[in-house]
Amino acid sequence: MTDTTASRSVHDTSFIVLGTIGFCHLLNDMMQSLLPAIYPTLKDQFHLSFAQIGLVTLAFQCTASLFQPVVGYFADLRPMPYSLAIGMVSTLGGLLVLAIAPNYPVLLVSAMMIGVGSAVFHPEASRVARMASGGRFGLAQSVFQVGGNIGQAISPLTAALLVATYGQRSIVWYAGLALLAIVLLFNVGTWYKHHGLARIKHHQASRDSGLPRNKVMPAMTILLLLMFSKFIYLACIGSYYTFYLMDAFGVSVQSAQVHLFYFLAAVAVGTLLGGPLGDKIGRKYVIWFSILGMLPFTLMLPYANLFWSGILAAIIGLVMASAFPAIVVYAQELLPGRVGMISGLFFGLSFGLSGIGAAVLGALADQTSIAYVFKVCALLPAIGLFAMFLPNLKAQPR
């Protein structure tokens, strides 16, 4: 291979790999989002309270949250190209257990197994996206993340068509998706081993973020506050929006799940736009606009009728989702050379905050009402004001 060819192989954006890892993210998050999508079915079948629903989310999210930074840290030290396929095996097992779970404790075990699969998938898949980016880091993160958002959006529809109609045991059909993902991720692992490692080494060649060390940690703290705002609100919508619509407007389970699909579809569009926009105008400004920009709409949502609730939820999803690709890449640029650890930390934090938020909000809903929970959470985007204190980073070389 000539020097010119080698340089091109490092700098070019590999859209085939990005597309594959994005599609696997779609499959992964479609399977994992099945759990909250079938909460109404599980609630009736196992006679669960809202607090117990929240604990199921906590079991999944915290398992994923605790392991992701660890997986990312060790992947930075010693890359594991085939860990993606191995992690998907845990997801496959969790789905099979979920399909036959006879009681609440086994339901919690299945949620934790699915969480372990997520813990392995997200940090390593995010590393692959950066490897394949060709220096277009925001675009790569958006393509990767939008796959997950589409999977999350599709999941309520498939749950409404399949699980709500045929019951818990129909979940076993999702195992076929896990098998497909295992095959695709094995091939991605082969590319990772033979081509991706050279690319990530090139991207890590410059380890200077342009900031003194005493400014890096305050910036990371602000990012964590913004993540808190975003994902606690996302937990509110993701776990309880269907219950809110059913309680406030008397809609059916299937109708509520379709409304949840509209919100999640808007999240997918916002994610796809956020990364490239951050590449063009700067990630700090995208982050600031995204978190703070949804505040007027979250404040209006608890007082809107059914039609406007759907519109407002879609706008909230669109604006809110544009932040996450920008936050992840901004954090990676704050600590160059720690791609896996940062990806694991932020994806894991997103799961952990969502899990804790779901549990706390579920308990609050039991004590008050779902409508009250939405009114309290409407204030969370005000935390976006802290984004104005994020430093401007120097341009990163491709």
Per-residue model confidence as pLDDT tens digits over 46-103: 888 888 887 887 888 778 777 888 888 887 778 788 889 999 999 999 888 988 888 8
Between 333 and 249, whose confidence is greater? 249
* Model pLDDT, residue 202: 55
Nearest to 270 by CA among 128, 158, 150: 150
**Residue 268 pLDDT > 70:** yes
* Model pLDDT, residue 156: 74
* Model pLDDT, residue 6: 41
User: Does residue 396 form part of some domain?
Assistant: no
Nearest to 57 by CA among 346, 350, 378, 275: 350
Question: Average pLDDT of 304-309?
Answer: 94
Nearest to 323 by CA among 376, 244, 380: 380
- Sort 102 into a burial class: Cβ within 10 Å, 0-12 / 13-18 / 19+: exposed
Mean pLDDT of the chain: 82
**Residue 377 pLDDT > 80:** yes
Cβ–Cβ under 8 Å, residues 40 and 247: no
**Residue 311 pLDDT > 90:** yes
**Residue 136 belongs to domain spanning:** 7-389
CATH number at residue 300: 1.20.1250.20
Question: Average pLDDT of 372-386?
Answer: 91
For residues 171 and 34, give the distance between their C-alpha atoms in angstroms, rounded to a whole number.
9
Q: Which residues contact 50 (CB under 8 A, 6 or more apart)?
A: 240, 243, 362, 363, 365, 366
Cβ–Cβ under 8 Å, residues 87 and 24: no
Per-residue model confidence as pLDDT tens digits over 182-196: 999 999 988 888 876
**Residue 4 pLDDT > 50:** no
- Percent pLDDT > 90 in the chain is 22
User: Does residue 92 form part of some domain?
Assistant: yes
User: Does residue 78 form part of some domain?
Assistant: yes
Total domains in the fold of the chain: 1
User: Does residue 395 form part of some domain?
Assistant: no
Question: Average pLDDT of 35-39?
Answer: 78
3-state secondary structure the chain: CCHHHHHHHHHCCCHHHHHHHHHHHHHHHHHHCHHHHCHHHHHHHHCCCHHHHHHHHHHHHHHHHHHHHHHHHHHHHCCCCCHHHHHHHHHHHHHHHHHHCCCHHHHHHHHHHHHHHHHHHHHHHHHHHHHCCCCCHHHHHHHHHHHHHHHHHHHHHHHHHHHHHHCHHHHHHHHHHHHHHHHHHHHHHHHHHHHHHHHHHHHCCCCCCCCCHHHHHHHHHHHHHHHHHHHHHHHHHHHHHHHHHHHHHCCCHHHHHHHHHHHHHHHHHHHHHHHHHHHHHCHHHHHHHHHHHCHHHHHHHHHCCHHHHHHHHHHHHHHHHCHHHHHHHHHHHHCCCCHHHHHHHHHHHHHHHHHHHHHHHHHHHHHCCHHHHHHHHCCHHHHHHHHHHCCCCCCCCC
User: Does residue 2 form part of some domain?
Assistant: no
Q: Which residues contact 145 (CB under 8 A, 6 or more apart)?
A: 25, 271, 275, 324, 325, 328
Q: Which residues contact 178 (CB under 8 A, 6 or more apart)?
A: 27, 31, 88, 91, 92, 95
